[in-house]
A = this chain, B = another copy of it.
Amino acid sequence: MSVKVYEMAEVSFRGPEDGNPFKDVWIVATVESGERSYAVPGFYDGNGIYKVRLMPDAEGVYTITLKSNDEDLNGKTASVTCSGRSPYLHGPVRVIDEWHFAYADGTPYYENGTTCYAWTHQPKELRKRTLRTLKGGPFNKIRFCAFPKHYRYNENVPECFVFEGSEEKGFDFTRFNPSFFKTLEDCIESLQKMGIEADIILFHPYDRWGFSRMPRETDEFYLRYMVARLWAYGNVWWSFANEFDFMKEKTAEDFDLYGTIVQTIDPANHLRSIHNARIFFDHTKPWITHCSIQRYDMQRIPEWHEQYHKPIVMDEIRYEGDIPNTWGNLTGLQLVDYYWEGLCYGGFCGHGETYLNPREELWWSKGGELVGSAPKRLAFYNKILAEMPNDFVPGRLGIARPCISSPQGIHLYYMGNTQSGEADFTLPDAGLYEADIIDVWHMRVTTLKQTFEGPEFSVSLPGKPYHAVRLRRIEQIEASLKED
């Protein structure tokens, strides 16, 4: 078998079918490539088929030797050749410092996620529409649940579940359902092709089937299977919970254990986070790679940075929509305003949409189409953000206007609700600056004809809310152009 760098490779083995292979048989592969050797968990895929998945991170030959409690499987070998690179595979996203993400190959990753909790549990036709929408959209991450969701507008019964069984007959918590995983993996792969990270929510409280109340050993059994199946997809992130503090059956110690287990067994060391409702999890825990936060007081982002020293993803800032729930009826303008405010305080905001339609297909839960006014503004936001070097840090705290600054002399201020016709700036460095006035709603960038002599100067503004100001040190820009 041959794959490209960061592509998922799968090798299959035939093994015992009788009894309950999910429980009875274990396989672990020792993977060797050049000097390197590491362990990779394998899994049972039903019908007597056992699989090991790899994600080679460099060109070369990878040999696989199985260990198993099954005599036939034990000692079996296979190999995978990795050669060439794909234009869309950059490897797993990593945390590169307390502010930023980047792909494993070094490509900057500026997080901009959306939420469709239950999209993979919807019928194929709807999943296709969701993927079509995502393809044209501004998002490079999507949050969704492994277990189905029971909630207002989320009453329909999924076709299949993580575990064998059905809503009527109940579930066998000792057997996984390979056809569920086939669908899930198709979804993850489709996302990967579009450059979209799959932020998989492992546990959540909105449950009528018992998946939120499994005993610890079943939780572990499930987590180990999830990792074995999914780790080789470069775009996987592990979110240990949606609203962990609403899961009354689980303790912080449970999540700590689960986080540590996944950290230990996931060969790719995918990003790990845990999302709050009212109370924050202790994001200083070593297994947590970044803060996944449900809040919308962007001003506090600097405080959380101070506390956790990890990138901050404002994964739930409420949604653009028109439903009665307090969190589901923001205007698009408010959502876009939050995005810019959050960015300039040093975080990355997340999108969601909750417009009700007669089919009760709300994007936030089921996917489908986006009808809101925010998404195209978020594409514009991406464009401006992509023009920031991936070394920016928030420049100011407290009551002053939020801003992010690159040491290369680029400063992006969000002016939010200002209606002044003028703004004063005090920059860290002297020099000649150009100023761009960025209308975040009408998506226009106007470069002022005048240049400004730093470090202190005033810039004319349109006198209306919802603009950003980008100040660029001209020397710096010329220098960087020469380098290219």
* A450 at interface, CB cutoff 8 A: no
* With known contacts A294-B399, A399-B278, A463-B322, A420–B300 Cβ distance under 8 A: no
Which chain B residues lie closer than 8 Å to A463 at the CB level?
Answer: 322
A328 to B465, CA, bound (A): 13
A327 to chain B: which residues have CB within 8 Å?
A: 399
Docked pose: A418 CA to B318 CA in angstroms: 10
In-complex Cβ contact of A424 among B325, B421, B424 (8 A): B325
Kindly state the separation between the CA atoms of A420 and B354 in the bound complex, as whole angstroms.
Answer: 10
Complex Cα–Cα for A465 and B318 (A): 15
A331 to B278, CA, bound (A): 31
Q: Is the C-beta of A83 less than 8 angstroms from some C-beta in chain B?
A: no
Bound-state CA distance A458–B401 (Å) is 39
Closest Cβ of chain B to A249, distance in Å, is 21
**Which residues from B are CB-within-8-Å of A334?**
417, 465
Residue pair B278, A398 in contact (C-beta under 8 Å)? yes
Residues of B close to A294: CB separation below 8 A: 399
Is A299's beta carbon under 8 Å from chain B? yes
Of B323, B326, B421, the residue contacting A322 (CB under 8 A) is: B421
A42 within 8 A of B: no
A352 at the interface (CB under 8 A from B): no
User: B residues within 8 A CB of A70?
Assistant: none
In chain A, positions 425-484 with a C-beta closer than 8 Å to chain B are 458, 463, 465
**Contact (Cβ within 8 A) A420 B278:** no
In the complex, what distance in Å separates the CA atom of A421 from the CA atom of B321?
Answer: 10
The yes or no answer to A329 lying at the interface (CB within 8 A) is yes
Query: Please, what's the 1-or-0 string for A407-422, where 1 marks a CB less than 8 Å from any CB in chain B?
Result: 0000000000111111
Contact A419 B330 (CB under 8 A): yes
Specify which of B297, B325, B418, B458 is in contact with A329 (CB 8 Å cutoff): B418
State the interface size on chain A (CB cutoff 8 A).
37
Task: Determine whether A1 belongs to the interface, using a CB cutoff of 8 Å to chain B.
Answer: no
A11 within 8 A of B: no
Q: Note all chain B residues with C-beta closer than 8 A to A322.
A: 419-421, 463
Q: Does A358 contact B (CB under 8 A)?
A: no
Given that A297-B300, A331-B465, A399-B294 are contacting pairs, would A326 and B418 also be in contact in the complex, using a CB cutoff of 8 Å?
yes
- When distances are taken between beta carbons in the complex, the residues of chain B under 8 Å from A465 are 331, 334
- Decide if A34 is an interface residue (CB 8 Å cutoff): no
Residue picked from A277, A334, A400, A418, most chain B C-beta under 10 Å = A418
Does B331 lie within 8 Å of A424, measured CB to CB?
Answer: no
Could you say which residues of chain B place their CB within 8 Å of the CB of A420?
321-325, 328-329
A329 CB contacts on chain B under 8 angstroms: 417-420
A423 at the B interface (CB under 8 A): yes
> Which residues of chain B have C-beta atoms less than 8 A from A324's C-beta?
420, 422-424, 458
Task: List residues of A (299-353) whose CB comes within 8 Å of B's CBs.
Answer: 299-300, 318, 321-331, 334
Q: Name the residue on B nearest A463 (C-beta).
A: B322
Which residue of chain B is the closest to A461 with respect to CB atoms? B324
Taking the nearest CB of chain B, how far is it from the CB of A349, in angstroms? 15
The listed residue with most B CB atoms (<10 A of its CB), out of A294, A300, A329, A423, is A329
- Chain B residues whose CB sits within 8 angstroms of the CB of A417 once the complex forms: 329-331, 334
Question: Given the complex, which residues of B lie within 8 Å of A424, measured CB to CB?
Answer: 324-325
A399 to B328, CA, bound (A): 11
Q: Provide the residues of chain B in CB contact with A277, threshold 8 Å.
A: 398-399
Least Cβ–Cβ distance between A105 and chain B, in angstroms: 38
* Minimal beta-carbon separation of A360 from chain B (angstroms): 14
CB proximity to B under 8 Å, residues A23-55: none
Closest to A320 in B: B419
Q: Tell me, rounded to whole Å, the shortest Cβ–Cβ distance linking A315 to chain B.
A: 13
- Set of chain B residues within 8 Å of A458, measured between Cβ atoms: 324
Q: Which B residues lie within 8 Å of A297 (CB)?
A: 297, 299-300
Shortest Cβ gap from A426 to chain B (Å):
11
- Cα of A403 to Cα of B418 in the assembled complex, Å: 27
Docked Cα-Cα span, A296 to B295, in Å, equals: 15
Give bound CA distance, A295 to B300, whole Å: 12
5 contacts between A and B (CB under 8 A): A318-B399, A324-B420, A326-B401, A328-B420, A331-B419
Q: 4 closest A-B pairs (Cβ-Cβ)?
A: A329-B420, A324-B422, A329-B418, A334-B417
